[in-house]
Amino acid sequence: MADRIVVAGVPVDTRHWIGGRRVASVETFTDHSPVDGQPIGEIARGGPAEAVAAVAAARDAFPAWAATPRAERARILHAIADGVDKRVEELAIVETTDNGALLRSHRRGVMPRVAHNFRFFADWLLQLDHDDFETRGHTNHVSWDPAGPCVLITPWNAPLMLATWKVAPALAAGNTVVLKPAEWSPLTASLLADIAAEAGLPAGVLNVVQGYGAEIGDALTSHPDVRRISFTGSVPTARRIAASAAANLTPLSLELGGKSPLLVFADADLELAVELAVEQYDNAGQVCLAGTRLLVEESVAGEFTRRFVEKATALTQGDPRDEGTDIGPNIHPRQLEKIDGFVQRALGAGARAVIGGHRKDGQYYEPTLLTDVAQDSEIVQEEVFGPVLTLQTFAGEDEAVRLANDTRFGLAATVVTGDPGRAERVTAQLVAGTVWVNCFFVRDLRAPFGGSRLSGVGREGGTWSFDFYCDLKNTVTAPKGWKDHG
Ligand code: NAD
């Protein structure tokens, strides 16, 4: 196995990063590009031995990093952000080659946001405090103590973005990290290890292990030295991780899938509603937050559908490196099979494809809109994670809310209405971690993020991230000369 491969002109180390050095594995796995289906390179295929070594490195590095003053930790995180900023172009092209998402959005949105993740949590750390308070003359002082080694496991749909959204607060809090990126998009995590080392992050504070989740995952999540596990991915994997973490009762943060509704009321700005609906095809539909269930008030459904079809069929599907492309490929042939399986079963059960419904050449799937779908059908209830939307109609507010909430998930919801009173009534009743009104995907790191029901456990973002990554301690000190005569 070559230790380094060159991806679109960028050298990428294919080994693990453990304890401040590169470590190879005897076995490798082949990483393919969704852009053309071709192999990119052989990547180290870690197993239990690498998991144990990485956790040991994180455990050994923990005391010194936890004792590093906050201002110094923040300085290093800012230096990592600088390193990301300097390498935006490289990170963007490597990520696009690896996961097929649009180069223009990696370049202009995602990678600058990766840098922002580090800056934001570094700055938040510095103003993180609870006011002390008094109990019968005694002071209560609440401190945010680092928890210990954290295992962070991430998916392929937004690899570096989602990884750094965990890595940055975990490190800021004074923890050490073992990051396990998804096997379908392992490359930018390796570049992050380089950037962190160049920024002066001490050896062992950030470790990156590569491999199949099924082979390396359990050794990471069941390890008794691990103090936190943060996972973003699917519900079945979350169940396995929760079972594995149960032995040590390791606290978990779970960011999982969704089947989010997008509600369009008759009083909505229809142009806006259509624009927001078509946006749900972004990243070829591989977005956890996507509002894949379009719920449209009956009286405007015909006009909405007409305008939607016009806009959706004008989208350009193709090479994600081209500036003019709107929809790129799906991540993997297996994912395409899964998407097509959902669609064909839905069509077989009586659904009608208003647009799409087929695979295309290469790893592409036609943007698809299905109608005539039953509320209890698989296509309405299960996450597809591809460019597939359903459209159902409703007669009024009550029915809209009932359909929106009739799901096992609760990640997000979008409400499009011109009536602020209705927006208030409807959002109050929706079960979702994030609700958008007349907008979509507006995110602020200060806000709590997470899902209800099967969409997740816990919230991250702002203080909520530190709440998870820290052990909160209350120290009660008696006043001088005080004796408790109880
Ligand atoms: P996945 O669950 O298959 O894999 C996610 C990660 O878990 C990968 O790194 C994988 O290697 C690892 N893994 C697999 N088995 C494991 C095990 N037994 N132990 C430990 N780790 C294991 O998910 P995916 O297909 O990569 O991602 C798509 C899913 O992620 C979708 O359901 C999507 O909705 C969800 N997602 C959620 C959010 C969110 O913030 N809520 C964001 C992005 C994606």
Domain range for 329: 261-437
Report the DSSP beta bridge partners of residue 7: 10
Residue 449 lies in a domain: no
Residue 181 and residue 47 share a domain: yes
**356 CA distance to ligand 1 centroid (A)?**
27
Q: Is the same domain home to 222 and 272?
A: no
- β-partners of residue 146 are 470
Q: Give the mean pLDDT per block of 10 residues along the chain (486 residues).
A: 94 98 98 97 98 99 98 98 98 98 98 98 92 92 97 98 98 98 98 98 99 98 98 98 98 98 98 98 98 98 98 98 98 97 98 98 96 98 98 98 98 98 98 98 97 98 97 95 69
Cα 286 to middle of ligand 1, angstroms: 12
Say how many residues make up the chain. 486
* Total number of domains constituting the chain: 2
pLDDT digits (tens, 9 = 90+) for 340-378: 999 999 999 999 999 999 999 999 999 999 999 999 999
Q: Are residue 244 and residue 265 in the same domain, yes or no?
A: no
Residue 24 and residue 197: Cα distance in Å, rounded? 18
> Within this chain, do residues 273 and 404 fall inside the same structural domain, yes or no?
yes
User: Do 431 and 453 form a contact (C-beta atoms < 8 A)?
Assistant: yes
157 lines ligand 1 (CB under 6 A): yes
- State the Cα angle at 450 between 449 and 454, rounded to 5°: 170
Per-residue model confidence (pLDDT) at position 484: 63
Whole-number Å distance, alpha carbon 51 to ligand 1 midpoint, is 18
Q: Per the domain annotation, does 481 fall within a domain?
A: no
Q: Which residues does the annotation mark as catalytic?
A: 255, 288
Whether 480 maps to a domain, the answer reads: no
Report the CATH number that the domain containing residue 146 is assigned in CATH.
3.40.605.10
* Nearest Cα residue to 219 out of 158, 274, 151, 167: 151
Shared domain for 320 and 422, answered yes or no, is yes
As a whole number of angstroms, the distance between CA 58 and CA 228 comes to 12
> Looking at the structure, do residues 374 and 233 belong to the same domain, yes or no?
no
Residues 397, 426 contacting (CB under 8 angstroms): yes
> Would 66 be classed as within a structural domain?
yes
Q: Is the CB of 260 under 6 A from ligand 1?
A: no
Mark whether 415 and 402 lie in a shared domain.
Answer: yes
Q: Give the C-alpha separation, 164 to 175, whole Å.
A: 14
Residue 448: inside a domain, yes or no?
no
Exposure string of 447-468, with b = 16+ CB inside 10 Å and e = fewer, is eebbbebbbbbbbbbbbbbbbb
Based on the fold, state whether residues 316 and 364 are members of the same structural domain.
yes
Ligand 1 pocket residue status of 121, Cβ below 6 Å: no
User: Is residue 447 assigned to a domain?
Assistant: no
| Residues 139, 282 share a domain | no
Distance, CA of 177 to CA of 187 (rounded, Å): 17
Looking at the fold, whether 221 and 111 belong to one and the same domain comes out as: yes
- pLDDT, position 481: 86
Cβ–ligand 1 contact at 410 (below 6 Å): no
In a domain, 468, yes or no: yes
Verify that 181 and 223 share a domain, yes or no.
yes
Alpha helices in 225-268 (DSSP H): 235-245
Q: CA-CA distance, 166 to 178, in Å (whole number)?
A: 11
**One domain, residues 140 and 273:** no
In three-state form (DSSP H/G/I as H, E/B as E, the rest C), the secondary structure along 436-452 is EECCCCCCCCCCCECCC
Q: Is 180 in the pocket of ligand 1 (CB under 6 A)?
A: yes
155 Cα: distance to centroid of ligand 1 (angstroms): 5
CATH number at residue 286: 3.40.309.10
Q: How far apart are CA 30 and CA 19, in angstroms?
A: 25
Q: Is residue 444 part of a domain?
A: no
Q: Which has the closest alpha carbon to 56: 12, 93, 19, 105? A: 19
Predicted confidence at residue 445, as pLDDT, reads 97
